[in-house]
Amino acid sequence: MKRFYVTTPIYYINAEPHLGHTYTMVVADTLARFHRARGSETFLVTGTDEHGDKIAAMAAEHGEPPKVYADRMSPLFQQAWQDCGFVVDQFVRTTDPRHERLVQEFLQRVYDNGDIYFSRYAGLYCTGCERFLTEKELVGGNCPDHKRPPELIEEENYFFRMTRYLPAVQQHFEAHADAIFPDHYRNEVLAMLASGGIGDLCISRPKSRLEWGIELPFDRRYVCYVWFDALISYVSGLKMHGEDTFRAFWPTAHHVMAKDILKPHAIFWPSMLLALGLPLFRRLLIHGYWVRGEAKMSKSLGNVIRPLDMKRQFGIDTLRYFLLREMAFGQDASFNEDAFVARVNADLANGLGNLVSRVLSMQQRYFAGCVQPLEGDTPADRDLQAAFAQALEEVPQWTEQLAFHRALEALWRALDRANKYVVDTAPFTLARNAQNLPRVGAILHRLLECLYTTAVLLSWFLPETSQKMFSLLGLDSPGHVPSNLGWGEHFPPGHRVRPPATLFPRIDLHRDEAAAPRPR
């Protein structure tokens, strides 16, 4: 059995879910659906990161004990992802006792192996990043991501002997060219490793300063550093479903995230896994930032967009389409209302939506919905079929390479051809003469096949739309990606398709100003 394990970062609960988090979820959900369509068993883990300075401070700001605050915030994420229709197999909260026990077990194991020692330390800590920064990382004395100076912290702490594992980590990334994607992030990591500037990792906080964390099993005066705790969620999420699930899925782990947290994933995490005697994850898949204007969207900068508002106004598939079509995976992309409206109207309302409604309404008008035999084979017919055969080949290939924007572009090239085929063959004109009806029936049958292939190829990108299309066609989804078009085989003789329904209403910002997504 082929398997595919995909994770997202577990999100800090100091902010409500926003568009940046939603993008990562859309990517993970799309990949899981794609691998399922290709016959793999899949598992998706996401969750919330609930310990550490940042959350403790936020809870205090709200006048709540941290656990009360966490119990209020974590469900916002869980609910949002459920409302968005993402198929999450395990939502991990780091305050879940099953997770806490595993973190303690792992800490003890590393401690027993002699890889944890006690020492005094002074360093520059950024609470935004929840990690110590090196002088080199600062820009004008500030954290480059959070635009504020880190705090000087000096105290006695426990350290993970990470330096012992760095050569093996380096070797691993040198030997596995696809372990970090896109490749320039692998080069960044290799440069970090080659610089010799990475030391051991401070993995504790004295309770006298921070109580909100998992207690170290070997010293009750300390709690565990939040990143050491959080990364283990990728393992605890599987283990919550039993050791067999862990063993089956772990070697296929794909961790999806933005570039902000590359270092903990590419340096801390593989070192921890090596120290624990566990196999390394399969790949890190690193995407860029969604920005508004110049700034990365983030709660602290106050320029976020709420995914559920977007979903309510435009539907989840409209949002999925825009996010996947507009961002080249690995690069930054900018979110602006005009681009959103233009893209949605051109591609979804016009390109796809119009085709569906034209074809289905002609099928009703001329044949009461009854599908006619697929006769004849003109150059235009062959052209159309070739365009969709190419989409069937290219779309999965681009998806496999995480070039979602290219995959959708390839499918829309075929849809453009279908729209052009309608204009060129002009079934609405032919139908004026009853003699032409067999040809009109054959043209429409071919167009219905275009919709069928489109629904198959949209099943991992726009699952709701794909389902709606199958239901309009009166057919079940095949549930997998077929190896060839199979046109002429999908509609049994006498089969009726449904009357058209609007898949994507046009967005008219001038008529309805309130429909524009607004920053909060």
Q: Give 4's contacts (C-beta < 8 A, 6+ positions apart).
A: 31, 32, 35, 36, 40, 41, 42, 43, 252, 254
3-class SS shares of the chain: helix, strand, coil, % to 5: 50, 15, 30
| Contacts of ligand MSP in 16-55 (CB under 6 A) | 20-21, 23-24, 49
Quick check: 9 binds ligand MSP (CB under 6 A)? yes
Q: Which tokens go with 386? A: 């070739």
Long-range CB contacts for residues 346-349, cutoff 8 Å, separation at least 24: 347/321, 347/412, 348/318, 348/321, 348/503, 348/504, 349/504, 349/505, 349/506, 349/507
**CA-to-CA dists, residue 160 to 125, 189, 271, 342, angstroms:** 17, 20, 9, 51
Identify the CA nearest to 437 among candidates 355, 358, 363, 384: 363
Write down the least CB distance from residue 478 to ligand MSP, Å: 32
In the complex, what is the shortest distance from the CB of residue 343 to ligand MSP, in angstroms, rounded to a whole number?
18
User: Known catalytic residues?
Assistant: 18, 21, 126, 129, 143, 146, 296, 299
Contact map string, positions 49 to 88, toward ligand MSP, x by CB under 6 A: x---------------------------------------
* Nearer to ligand MSP (CB atom), residue 233 or residue 354: 233
The number of C-alpha atoms within 13 Å of 278 and in the hemisphere containing its C-beta is: 22
Closest CA to 64 of 75, 77, 55: 55
Q: How far is the CB of 55 from ligand MSP (least distance, A)?
A: 10
Q: Which amino acid, 198?
A: I
Question: Minimum Å distance from CB 139 to ligand MSP?
Answer: 18
Cβ 297 to ligand MSP shortest distance, Å: 4
Site size for ligand MSP (CB under 6 A): 21
Among 5, 11, 173, 225, binds ligand MSP (CB under 6 A): 11
Nearer to ligand MSP, 131 or 445 (CB): 131
The first and second tokens of residue 443, run together, are 């043209």
Nearest approach, Cβ of residue 298 and ligand MSP (Å): 6
Piece of the chain touching ligand MSP by CB under 6 A; list 6-14, 182-190, 339-347, 420-428: 6-14
Which range of residues in 100-108, 190-198, 296-304, 487-495 is near ligand MSP by CB under 6 A? Answer: 296-304
Q: Which residues pair with 156 in a beta bridge?
A: 120
DSSP 347: I
Q: Report 250-279 residues binding ligand MSP (CB under 6 A).
A: 257-258, 260-261
463 sits near ligand MSP (criterion: CB under 6 A): no
Distances, alpha carbon 376 to alpha carbons 90, 161, 206, 442, 459, in Å: 51, 72, 79, 7, 30
Inter-residue contact 464 to 403 (CB < 8 Å): no
Nearer to ligand MSP, 10 or 356 (CB): 10
Q: Is 396 a residue that touches ligand MSP (CB under 6 A)?
A: no
Identify which of residues 281 and 366 has a Cβ nearer to ligand MSP in the complex: 281
Our CB check for ligand MSP shows the closer of 129 and 455 to be 129
Output the residue with the shortest Cβ distance to ligand MSP: 20
Residue from 28, 59, 102, 231 binding ligand MSP (CB under 6 A): 231
> What is the nearest approach in angstroms of ligand MSP to the Cβ of residue 232?
8
Name which of 29 and 49 has its Cβ closer to ligand MSP. Answer: 49
- Of positions 10, 201, 422, 503, contacts ligand MSP by CB under 6 A: 10
Residues 191-230 binding ligand MSP (CB under 6 A) are 230
The DSSP result for 261-286, as a single string, is GHHIIIIIHHHHHHHHTPPPPSEEEE
Q: Which amino acid makes up residue 143?
A: C
Buried b (16+ CB within 10 A) or exposed e, 416-430: ebbbebbeebebeee
Enumerate the β-bridge partners of residue 422. Answer: none
Q: Is 222 left (phi over 0), alpha (psi -120 to 50) or beta?
A: beta
Pick from 42, 74, 236, 298 the residue near ligand MSP by CB under 6 A: 298
238 binds ligand MSP (CB under 6 A): no
Largest CA-CA distance found in the chain, in angstroms, rounded:
92
Beta carbon nearer to ligand MSP, 16 or 41: 16
| Spatial separation of the C-alpha atoms in residues 509 and 516, rounded to whole Å | 6
Q: Which residues bind ligand MSP (CB under 6 A)?
A: 9-12, 20-21, 23-24, 49, 230-231, 233, 257-258, 260-261, 289-290, 296-298
